[in-house]
Structure 1
Amino acid sequence: MPHSLPPHASPFQRGIWVTERLGGHHGVFHMPVLLSFDRVDADALARAVSTVTARHPVLSQVFVERGGSLVAEPGTAPVLDVVDASEDCAQSREKRLAEDAARPLDLQAGPLARFTLYRGRGEAAELLAVVHHAVFDGESKDVLVADLATAYEQALGGPAQAADQSPFTPPSTPPAPLDPDPDLVRRAADRYGPRWAAATEPVLPGLPHAVTAPASGACETWRTDARGRAAVAEAAERCGVTVFEFLLAALHALLLRYGGEAVPVSVPLSVRTPEQAGEIGLFVNELPVHAPAGVGTGTSFAEYARAVRAEARGGYPFRPVPFGAAVGGLTPRAGLAPVSFGYRRARAVDPVFPGSTVRVDRTVFNGAARNTLHLQAVDTADGLAFSLQYAPAVLSPDAADRVAGHYTALLEAATATPEAPLNALPVLGAEERYLVTDGWNATARSYPRERTVLDLVRERAAETPDAPAVSAGAARLTYRALVARTEELAAVLRGAGVGRGDVVALHLERSADLPAVLLAVHAAGAAYLPLDPGHPAERLAFVLADSGAALLVADREPAPDVVAAAPAVLRLGSARAEPGSAPAPTPPGGLAYVLYTSGSTGRPKGVEIGHRALVNLLTSFAERLGSGPGDVWLGLTSLSFDISGLEILLPLVTGGRLVLAPEGAALDAPGTVGLVRREGVTHLQATPAGWRVLLSAGPLPAGLTGIVGGEALPLPLARELRGSLGRLINGYGPTEATIYATCADVPAGPEAVVIGGPVANTRAYVLDADGRPLPIGIPGELHLAGDGVADGYRGRPELTAERFVEDPFVGTGGRMYRTGDLAAWTPDGELEFHGRIDDQVKIRGHRIELGEIEAALLDHPAVAAAAVAVCGQAEGDPALVGYRVAAPGGEPPSDADLRDHLLRTLPAVMVPRQFVALDRLPLTASGKLDRRALPAPPRTAAAGPVEADEVTAGVLAIWEEVLGASGIGPEDDLFDLGGHSLTIIQITARIRAAFGVELDFDLFFDASTPAALAAVVRERR
């Protein structure tokens, strides 16, 4: 006999109903089953469908909200629809099945099941059954197919019988679904609450942020044969886990190898009782299986699988508890977590439909993605069938294909050697590994390895001695004069005792003598050490002492502390060359310069750059830019910032002209732009902050080639610059890799900003914490190798050994530098910059890159400059603070406007809690953002009593009644208070009764506080 319907929807059904009411579900809750017949009696099948739907009234029910409760009521029974598809080709068939699987099933109007028989050529036919998840689950598919087979066999013998005369064993009436025991909910909260708070988003190829929202989907499918399935089962047994746990452990291991720290994988768990084994319905609950805590990549896979097993089984007692009831702050969603895993063991033998050979496909894709990534595994006697379902809007098909390949590679290796450590299990296939280690690093080029910059400048002077070389104010030097002044100063240095291997510190103004002094140091066989006269005397004194400089060269009087730290001071104005001093040959393999950078511990460290590295960089960029004698470069950057080496030396080794900008020019936009116009500058380099200053002065000269370096280039600035310049180069490189290690030409109308590929004779590797290559699209620490790598840190052997390590991807003797920067390869073989590893922050369990928020702020048309910092870490309540500089000529943006703007592209957790308006951002002497100089945000005054109007007071009262709590404030968040699907239904019903206003469920995302909800009610009354 048929069931009676339970009077109220279960908590799981309420969650689905609310989520679907939010819209945009794209058929994500549709569950298709396809039966392919070689021949079928359509009339008998129609009677079988009627018999089965009569036995399982859930297939005919609808869900209706009444008085704040969701009830199940009888609806229209589904019937078999027969369609002629005999003319369909294979492509038409696929399209037809996809459209049918996605066609809406209305929870309120019904029916919630659809049966369509597509007649093919001859006697062949396909039955597509599509049932809504609100009344159906994976096990229900088997029940439906078995009952259809039984009913079909009976129907072949005559007309359909009444339900109480059906061929089925009378089922037990399922109990009415009840909310779980409060004590069980409390214990579930104790288990899951801390785990969920510590959870992090998964790291997936090319995916900035994971999502749980439904979307149109796609899938990748593959399978193993029976032998492969047997090997997995044997390996699982060796590990002491089930096949399900083994496959889940492989997925968790892959997410860990991708860089996920504490990623949960949600899994549907059965809540069927033995009495419900033969029933159709929703008898599953989705709960997260969290990554095992404290288990690193050095752990064996077998041990890791057992840890995953323990984590999974620890949650089994809480199967009846809806996750939203155990964990507060959880908004309704189609997918509980961004990554989910489903496993089902198929029946050994499919039911028999008399007179037909039938193939049952229980894995038909419904065309929707419930979250970022869902891996489905079906365990059959013939093998393991896998389906990787994803949203192409957030994860590209190529990336999904690579994920499937990575999972397969790791699973096969774990199956073969489960005792191997996780970090030894291969993830990359041979082709992808070749690309990220060799293919995109094929940068070998010839260059004058045995020459120095001085040699190259002398050659230019010999070719064109009277060509202009340097301009600085009214001073002009030809190449002949530049070399002569270089030799004169070199003689002075040699007379002062400077020789090969020495370091000469330079404390110089921006005069025409500056490039001559650099070259003179090389001519004396020494390396130069730039000192910025604008830096504090204490820092300069430390650098002098730490470097062991043999001499300080100054063209103005240094501070007393600086003089005291120098072993000797040579003042250029009074220096005279000693006659007869012989020039010292400059070895190409020797040291060219030492540049001090800030240390993470606060102690500056000196980076030693060799001549060969410098020549390689200059010749590489000369070729890339086509730089030659007709070009004019502006020397704008402080000598203590390594990118100054490009703009000073590149024009001199290519026969061009260097125009030295005066002190303070970087902040004088009109003066600098005027200088560019007067001198006919063709190449200009600046940091992003410096370019913003220049753009503030109005249009730049047409045809200018711009180089951006020193900091990440935000996309809005890249678009603005590219529209103003003839060509734009985005360069990346730490001081330890000689100015620039990678570069990219920014295209017109860029959609993204990359740092490009490695320059000539440079290799780039993106590696995980174990030094293994990461897949395309997965961020990891960028390592740089090749001829541009520095010799090391001056006088710091321990630090040198820590940061400059062996390159395992080339022959012996190769070295690579660990940058501390995060980067990822694009599918096109370019590098994306993801910020500093130590700049990443964690807010409420989410790993956040501050630069991404800054880039989103800069995309607001009323924001000219932006920065983001974290405050409150010491108090244990870290919060993001946004700093913004308003664009000139318009209204400054309000905080609410900025929040709305950011929420269009960023998760709410990435939106700053406070915004601080500044006239300008603080910059370092090198023109970079000085985060440490950002002012502390003003303390927000404690909120006083809110004058609640009638509507707000009424909404507050409704919230307190529904949530069973008192003292709720107007700005309290519904989901933080433990709100879930039922509370949304109840609040909506009570507001309808009290105010006559119908609220859409999606309002609760944008108006999740009583004050915000009251404002909507007032507007609609």
Structure 2
Amino acid sequence: MNQSFHGVWFTEQASVAGTTYHMAVGIRFDGELDRHALGEACAAVIARHPALSSAVAVDRDLPRLVPAAEKVTLTDAPFSEARLREEIARRYDLGRGPLARFTLLRESDTRHLLLVTAHHLVFDGTSKEILVNDLAAAYGGAALEPLAEAAPSPSDVESAKAYWAGRWAAPGEVVLPELVRTPVAAEPGATVELTLPGVAVDGLTRFEVVLGAVHVLLARYGNTGLPVTIGLSTRSEQTTDHIGLHVTELPVTVAAATGGFRDYALGLRSRLRELYRHRAVPLAQVVGGLRVAPALTPISVGYRRRGPAPAFPGVTASVEWSLFGGGARNALHLQIVDGDDGLAVSLQHSPDAIPTAAVARIGEHLRTVLAAVADDHDVDVATMPIMPPAELDTVLRRWNDTAREQRGTVPELFAAQVRHRPHDVAVVDGDHRLTYAELDAASAELAARLPGPGALIAVRLPRGWKAVVAMLAVMRSGGAYVPVDPAYPPARQELILADARPALVIDGLGALPEPQPVTEGIGEAAYVMYTSGSTGRPKGVVVPHGALANLLLGMAETLGSGPDDRWLGLTSLSFDISGLELFLPLVTGGRLVIAGSTGALDGRALTALIGREGVTHVQATPSGWQVLLDAGFDGRATITALAGGEVLPLDLARQVRARVARLHNVYGPTETTIWSTTDELPAEPSAVTIGRPIANTQAYVVDADGRPLPIGVWGELRIGGHGVASGYLRRPDLTEERFQDNPFAAGRLYRTGDRCRWAADGRIVYGGRTDGQVKVRGHRVELEEIETRLREHPGVAQAAVALRGGELAAYVVARGTAPDGAELRRHLAETLPAAMVPTRWSTLAQLPVSPNGKLDRAALPEPAPSRAPAAETGAAGEADELVAVLRGIWQEVLAIDDIGVDEDLFDLGGHSLTITRINVRIMQQLGREVPLEVFFDTPTIAEIAHHLREHGLPEHGLRERA
């Protein structure tokens, strides 16, 4: 048997194949079918191709075909779709056989379906054609001559090893629309069937055109570098007419989408021709450690060119070449049958891993690509359309139809509320209460003492009524405020002030220092909010009045906020989301209830304050909500809750939602003014998204070149609309890098650096960062800034920081004696806020780097890993009787004289056949069988010995067998 046969058998033994190896072909007959002649024809085909009536026996560790215990005969049954599916999915007893079945399903006296099902061990795509042609010939009265036995084809294993040594890399992340996960074993499947037009391109085969179109589509999804398996025939001249398994699957890497289509497909052709030279050797035979699975890669393609169906005398016959076996072999398998009437495409998948509706859209994307190629054979693959017009219109316009008529600034909107309700309480801060009239008077008095329009004024006050007065005063004077948290380390405060260069710093509401002259106006800005910077220098985001007012009025519409509502002021003024909870109640006639600096950290005090003051709206980070829940917050039926600033875990969302009237998950960068999208979660949420754009806001999910991506495909989120900030204060270079003109509508876009995708219902799913920025307890943190500060310590040569379990973990390479974590913590605390100081520390000999020499953050180890027990080595290993038996088996099978107990089986040249042989010998000598997956997870002698002991191999039994 060939190596492909062994690979299929081995996968079946691992119980991961499901029904993916069940192959089927159907012949529909219309007319007066000669049932006797058909039975004779089936018998003749079975006699000519003994593989169909075979079973599998294991001889000297190797599987081989032997005659089945029973003959294959033609059986009859009434037709139904359920019976059809049942026959295809019916399991095979490989050891007993037979490995093929012939069933005639009767629909009526003049309509029948001959269903031939066979296991892939004895059948492939070409076998279907051979079988149908032989059946037609025999039905027409021709005698089928016996076939000569084919000799095994030679294969150059060493050449294949050398070829794949520098080319094979395990598949990384797979990007398909709405893909939830990549199956690692066969699963119950579904298929989407469609017919696509065949496209002829000069200089390319039809196969190269359609495979090129598939690769272009996958590259545009974001799969550059992903290996995609294709089925390649291994038939020789001797096996041309034989039914059997004469195909192998080998991977072809997806190239980046650049150049014209013809050149792209020609490049694919050259890679295919390299594969052809090594197709006789399956990859599993030359690459160690490949996990047993029915598919080599997450995406695979099968292609067959079909001629017209042969004639069956006296009846009209049509062939159904691609009857689905019912199993999903991987994330997506594209089975393509190329016939005279176009491309019959079957998109096979697991609905639990990727929604069938998303797979249907993949089919339409492929149709769009082929149509573009038909129009222009040299179309630019980087810019060619991949979405049909309706889907493109949906993601660009329909889901961004958020236009609202909104006018005014915070001072103007606040003034209107003062006129309507001057004596209503506006602010509660402990025992201190201010009415709208009192707040208006206090802010007007302070505004009169400020420099005036265009001035940048720092407000360095703790959260409280004085800070509210100061911020309102700055805005009504025509200036822009810069919040500086007095709780920040002094060095951090000085960094912000040095960069902002404010005309004045407000530390209180009494006498003010003489302001600096205003040498440059701040324009229409309402405030400048400082965020972490990747160079170690914080950057100031300039937010205009219109953007702030749009946020407040848009959220008022979304949430509902009016005179009867009371908002909790909980957030640090240097965290931009504080703007919503401070100003939204004041521009809608409600009441602001401020939690003091100490109370904001005390869950019990907050819970009491919420109840005492009748708070109706609470905004907090998920970390903040966890504090409330831990303090016993049992909720109020009137509360509208907002969670934002970091990822909201589903379990926490369920806990919060169960305690409040409404829960909104909100999302937005500082650069697009606090919140840009919102999602109201149902009573029992099953998922958490960041929702849809708020009023006058547009959201676009695009690729690295700014082109819109289809529904469900991961890309970068870019945000446009009224909320987009003016840019970074005195940082034109950074502003140009992160802000751009909107190519889809009027205005500008902000590049968030957030990885997102559209859900099918128009909500946005958040998938983390595309760069080194993370959220820690709601605070936006640039990892590179922390790394810059760490490298300033004299004892640190290199540094890296990563998010692990929601906490920052620091990794340092020491210069000389390594400083301890406490010392490094103190060093960072001098310049960084507490949220930016790592809590976990590790010292490494060197930092992991990617092939291009950059820090490979994903490869950083878990901090302070627990050490596994050391494997037995040296004398102890030699004295261990079980280890000695296993070492003897390893040495015999691998033909290596001396093997250490900790050496990796696959590093020693092992593969699936090796495992089979080792397992047979373990069973013979020790009476135990090791599950195949254990060899992949723990591929050393010491680990297999540990597994056997853990699963009940007694020492006395070992001695008896010895």
TM-score (norm 1): 0.82
Cα separation, 2, equivalents of 1:396 and 1:926: 45
Other structure's SS at 1:422 match: coil
1:935 aligns with 2:841: yes
The answer to whether residue 179 in structure 2 is matched with residue 216 in structure 1 is: no
Q: Deviations over 1:214-256 (max 9, x none)?
A: 11221122224xxx43xx12x1x2xx32211111111111011
The answer to whether the 8 A contact 1:687-1:927 is kept is no
| 2:922 aligned with 1:991 | yes
1:903 corresponds to: none
Q: What amino acid does structure 2 have at the position aligned with 1:636?
A: L
Q: Does 1:523 align with 2:476?
A: yes
Which residue type is aligned with residue 641 of structure 1? F
Contact kept, 8 Å, 2:53 with 2:72, in 1: the verdict is: no
**Aligned residue identity for 2:38:** L
Q: Would you say the 8 A contact 1:115–1:130 is kept in 2?
A: yes
Query: 1:491-890 residue pairs with structure 2 within 5 A?
Result: 491-493=448-450, 498-555=451-508, 572-575=509-512, 590-703=524-637, 704-811=639-746, 814-839=747-772, 882-883=804-805
Deviation string 1:52-105 (CA, Å, 9 cap, x unpaired) is: 2122111122112244222322114543333242xx5xxx3x332222111112
Structure 2 residue matching 1:1013: 3-state secondary structure: helix
Residue 275 of structure 2 aligns with an amino acid whose one-letter code is: G
Matched, 1:286 2:249: yes
Following the alignment from structure 2 to structure 1, what is the Cα–Cα distance between the partners of residues 894 and 358?
43
**Contact 1:78/1:114, CA 8 A, preserved across alignment:** no
Q: Per-residue deviation at 1:312?
A: 1.1
Name the residue aligned to 2:94.
Answer: 107
Q: Shift of residue 646 of structure 1?
A: 0.7
Task: Give matches, 1:36-115, under 5 Å.
Answer: 36-38=28-30, 39-76=32-69, 78-85=71-78, 92=80, 94-115=81-102
Tell me the alpha carbon deviations over residues 465-504 of structure 1, each in whole angstroms, 9 at most, x when there is no partner: 22111122222211121111111111222xxxx1111110
1:259 to 218, 222, 226: 222
Q: Is the 8 A contact 1:300 1:420 kept in 2?
A: yes
* Correspondence for 1:455: 412
Question: Deviation of residue 37 (structure 1)?
Answer: 1.6
Displacement of 1:300: 1.3
- Structure 2 distance, partners of 1:731, 1:492, is 37
The answer on whether the counterparts of 2:45 and 2:144 sit within 8 Å (CA) in structure 1 is no
May I ask how many residue pairs the two structures share in their alignment?
888
Deviation digits for residues 969-1018 of structure 1, max 9, x if unmatched?
A: 55655456554321222122111111112344454456554444334433
Which secondary structure does the structure 2 equivalent of 1:784 belong to? strand
Specify the SS of the correspondent of 2:96.
Answer: coil
Partners of 1:329 and 1:977 within 8 A in 2? no
CA drift of 1:931 comes to 7.6
Structure 1 position 201, deviation (Å): 3.2
- Superimposed CA distance per residue, residues 575-615 of structure 1 (whole angstroms, 9 cap, x where no aligned partner): 4999xxxxx9xx99821001111122222211111111111
- Once the two structures are overlaid, the 10-residue window that deviates more, 814-823 or 721-730, is 721-730
- Return closer, same or farther for 1:882/1:502 CA change in 2, 3 Å cut-off: closer
Alpha-carbon distance, 1:666 to partner: 3.8
Correspondence 1:322 to 2:255: no
Deviations for 1:894-937, whole angstroms, at most 9, x for unmatched residues? xxxxxxxxxxxxxxxxxxxxxx9xxx9x9999999648554223
Q: 2:128 aligns with which of 141, 144, 163?
A: 141
Q: In structure 2, do the counterparts of structure 1 residues 13 and 177 end up closer, same or farther at CA, with 3 Å as the change threshold? A: farther
SS of the equivalent of 1:15 reads helix
Q: 2:16·2:294 contact (CA, 8 Å) conserved in 1?
A: no
Query: Which amino acid is 2:76 matched to?
Result: V
In structure 2, the partner of 1:248 is 211
Contact 2:569/2:595 (CA < 8 Å) preserved in 1?
yes
Q: What is the CA distance between 1:408 and its match in structure 2? A: 0.8
Q: Compared with structure 1, are the counterparts of its residues 734 and 927 closer, same or farther at alpha carbon in structure 2 (3 Å cutoff)?
A: farther
Q: What SS does the aligned partner of 1:64 have?
A: strand
1:834 counterpart letter in structure 2: G
CA distance in 1, matches of 2:446, 2:909: 76
Answer yes or no: is 1:311 the counterpart of 2:237: no
Residues 196-226 of structure 1 deviation map (CA, whole Å, 9 limit, x = unaligned): 25x43320001143335211221122224xx
- Alpha-carbon offset, residue 34 of structure 1: 0.6
Q: TM-score, normalised by structure 2?
A: 0.87
**Which residue does the alignment assign to 1:190?**
165
Aligned partner (choices 231, 237, 258) of residue 274 of structure 1 = 237
Distance change (3 Å), C-alpha of 1:101 and 1:438 = same
Deviation at 1:941, TM superposition (A): 6.8
Partner of 2:428: 471
Q: Relative to 1, partners in 2 of residues 1:925 and 1:827: Cα closer, same or farther, differing over 3 Å?
A: farther
**CA distance in structure 1 between the partners assigned to 2:900 and 2:945 by the alignment:** 12
Distance verdict in 2 for CA 1:941–1:35, change over 3 Å: closer
- Which amino acid in 2 is paired with 1:938? A
Residue identity matched to 1:962: V
Task: Give per-residue Cα distances to partners, 1:841-892, cap 9 Å, x unaligned.
Answer: xxxxxxxxx999x99xxxxxxxxxxxxx99xxx999999995489xxxxxxx
For 2:704 and 2:362, locate their aligned partners in 1 and report how far apart those are by CA, in whole Å: 20
Inter-partner Cα distance in structure 1 for 2:907 and 2:437: 74
Once residues 980 and 191 of structure 1 are traced to their aligned partners in structure 2, the CA distance between those partners, rounded to angstroms, is: 18
Q: Deviations over 1:441-463 (max 9, x none)?
A: 1111122x1x2212222222222
The question of whether the paired residues in 2 share the 8 Å contact of 1:690 and 1:927 is answered with: no
Deviation of 1:18 (Å): 1.8
For 2:802 and 2:917, the matched residues in 1 are separated by: 34
Instruction: Show the counterpart of 2:329.
Output: 370
Measure, in 1, the Cα distance between the counterparts of 2:775 and 2:18: 33
Number of the residue aligned with 1:418: 377
The answer on whether the counterparts of 2:506 and 2:512 sit within 8 Å (CA) in structure 1 is: no
User: C-alpha displacement at 1:773, in angstroms?
Assistant: 1.1
Deviation at 1:1020, TM superposition (A): 3.8
Deviation at 1:757, TM superposition (A): 0.3
Letter in 1 for 2:452: G
- For residues 226 and 74 of structure 2, the distance between their equivalents in structure 1, rounded to whole angstroms, comes to 44
Q: Distance in 2 between matches of 1:851 and 1:805?
A: 24
Contact 2:672 2:723 in 1 (8 A): yes
Contact 1:713 1:753 in 2 (8 A): yes
The one-letter amino acid paired with 2:503 is A
Contact 1:502 1:550 in 2 (8 A): yes
Cα gap change, 1:794 to 1:927, in 2 (>3 Å)? closer
Secondary structure at 1:573's aligned position in 2?
coil
Deviation at 1:758, TM superposition (A): 0.4
Query: Matches of 2:98 and 2:566 in 1, distance apart?
Result: 75
Structure 2, unmatched stretches of 5+, are: 779-785, 788-795, 808-820, 843-862, 954-962
Shift of 1:20: 1.4
Counterpart-to-counterpart distance in 1, 2:158 and 2:474:
79
CA distance in 2, matches of 1:851, 1:59: 60
Taking a change above 3 Å as real, the CA distance of residues 41 and 267 of structure 1, as seen in their structure-2 partners, is same
Alpha-carbon distance between aligned partners in 2 of 1:877 and 1:944, rounded to the nearest angstrom: 32
CA RMSD of aligned residues (A): 3.2
Tell me if structure 2 keeps the 8 A contact 1:711–1:928: no
Amino acid at match of 2:105: Y
SS of 1:219 mapped into structure 2: strand
Moved more, 183-192 or 385-394: 183-192
Query: Mind listing any 5+ residue stretches in structure 1 that lack a counterpart?
Result: 1-8, 156-166, 556-571, 579-583, 841-849, 856-868, 886-915
